[in-house]
Structure 1
């Protein structure tokens, strides 16, 4: 499922002023996602950004390719700033995530001097604002949101965001739970089991290995319904939803579960991914967990969490991660804490609304 045509300005010259204010000899252009050296340098920048913000790096080249590969560019655009020697010193990426919501990646090398870093940052923000107007106009909107993130302890990033007119709107706990081999017995079979009239099962697969379309639609409908009143929820089409999740380097169809009531009516869904590790066992990650309001109080969320824990244990993994809204009134963090999750690090959402016309 590939979404509609890219709604962004693909030529940096159309999204930047003639003089973007960069140091003499520095320039901005679009990176070549097919060039191994470019991908290597962007990975280096991303990992340096992570180390400075939270103390350790976890991303790899696959995470960069999500942004810059030909497949990723169906819904994204990228900009890099190069010094006079042609070395990439800053990188911006925009993602047409859903109607009214544009994600923005903003990374500047940690080793360049302050004046050059500030100039690079300004150029990335100017470019992102122009891209917001472009995607907003293509969607027929009067206002387009730019949604970007920052690590809670990254004061340099916070200062730039404030200066660019962004506001801190949400805090997120990035939680992790260790997994023991014996927890493979938490549920009878992660592929399908039942408890108190609720069936927990993997999405069905067809002969070619692809999931059943009706099951995909059920997962999408459950998550859209479960998150309607959640912070910054933006409606996605099934096409956008599936395309985006398949881009994740950890995507696996056998990590998608549905919970159904006695009559076969979908009640909850969990989309998991693989968290690969270069130095030890892989982990599992809860990308999405949603339960319809009509089914709450029946142990659906607990059952789905027990399922992914058991699945991870059966695969020899040592952890399950997830993200929780620290400001959510639902009290979901209480469930996670009671089941053994603890906060590993903290991130923030920062927003700016751009007038399109």
Structure 2
């Protein structure tokens, strides 16, 4: 371990960090790849102080051997989930770097929790692919247990049903035709009963959603009743994944309906509308992520529209405070 130097991420490290992340993803059988823009945006997010919340292990050859972040994502409603993200380059696994990194992340996450939302129960939370023995061994060794399961659902953009008409009094409009803050407020209201949700302030909404390089407002839609945003569908695009995935796809990244407007088919109509928009853009696949235990019945809704499970991920957590 003496041959590496641990230090915060610097701007000149971005390419090397992305290379390490992508090498680890390939070794873990994951088909997602990181872009330099995505990394830069994440490091610049409102929930991160790069000097204290990032860490990389750099070898004598200047290769990034391990990387890690600790971040918060807005005001929690019940549980303060402090996110930890990181990994070890596959060429340097089994050397103890993972344990050293995770120990630092837990310590830092505890400090962040005590400084921000100590009145809420807190956990350090990390995501890992389901069935990964190496991740499970590391997390269990460090006192983590599975908190939640998440599903990635997908479907090819063939044989799509026609777009349903909106219910009476509701209009479907492109994202660009509505006020950003109105959609943010609708998000906060509609996601208030989703497990683990956080309230996003205007700064977080701007940096994490509107200004994100992956956000596609032209593929996103909003349901409006009068002057009120009652539902929304936000789409993201990750072109760097196309070659690895073997098709061009877009993600339905966030979907929400105000409680009093649920049960009228608005969400399913927004999804079908998005699928047609994706195909018109020349894409041939759609993806959506869902809480496997969601009480809103989201997984059943998506499956009813043709989505099938492609991958499963576990949230591993350890109590803080």
| TM-score interval (norm. to shorter) | 0.7 to 0.9
Q: What 5-or-longer segments of structure 1 have no aligned partner?
A: 1-22, 206-211
Q: Which of residues 77, 94, 100 in structure 2 aligns to 1:123?
A: 100
Per-residue deviation at 1:346? Answer: 1.0
For 2:63, the equivalent position in structure 1 comes to 87
- Kept in 1: contact 2:128–2:313 (CA 8 A): yes
Indicate the structure (1 or 2) with the bigger Cα radius of gyration: 1
Instruction: Give me the CA root mean square deviation.
Output: 2.5
For 2:213, the equivalent position in structure 1 comes to 249
Closer, same or farther: CA 349–113 of 1 in aligned 2, 3 Å: closer
For 2:7, the equivalent position in structure 1 comes to 29
Q: Which of residues 175, 189, 205 in structure 2 aligns to 1:203?
A: 175
Q: Provide Cα deviations, 1:121-165, integer angstroms capped at 9, x if missing partner.
A: 222123223322342343252554322100002211111111222
For 2:27, the equivalent position in structure 1 comes to 52
For 1:156, the equivalent position in structure 2 comes to 134
Q: Does the alignment pair 1:75 with 2:48? A: yes
Per-residue deviation at 1:113? Answer: 5.3
For 1:136, the equivalent position in structure 2 comes to 113
Q: What 5-or-longer segments of structure 2 have no aligned partner?
A: none
Aligned to 2:219, the other structure's residue is in SS state strand
Aligned to 1:298, the other structure's residue is in SS state coil
Structure-1 separation of matches of 2:185 and 2:31: 36
Alignment size in residue pairs:
310
Structure-1 separation of matches of 2:123 and 2:167: 42
- Kept in 2: contact 1:282–1:318 (CA 8 A): yes
Per-residue deviation at 1:29? Answer: 0.8
Structure-1 separation of matches of 2:137 and 2:73: 25
- Kept in 2: contact 1:53–1:153 (CA 8 A): no
Q: TM-score, normalised by structure 2?
A: 0.86
Q: TM-score, normalised by structure 1?
A: 0.78
Closer, same or farther: CA 281–62 of 1 in aligned 2, 3 Å: farther
Structure-2 separation of matches of 1:113 and 1:105: 16
Aligned to 2:264, the other structure's residue is in SS state coil
- Kept in 2: contact 1:76–1:93 (CA 8 A): no
- Kept in 1: contact 2:57–2:64 (CA 8 A): yes
Closer, same or farther: CA 136–312 of 1 in aligned 2, 3 Å: same
Q: Provide Cα deviations, 1:251-290, integer angstroms capped at 9, x if missing partner.
A: 13323322123x4433211111123145366322111111
Per-residue deviation at 1:173? Answer: 1.0
Structure-2 separation of matches of 1:186 and 1:281: 23
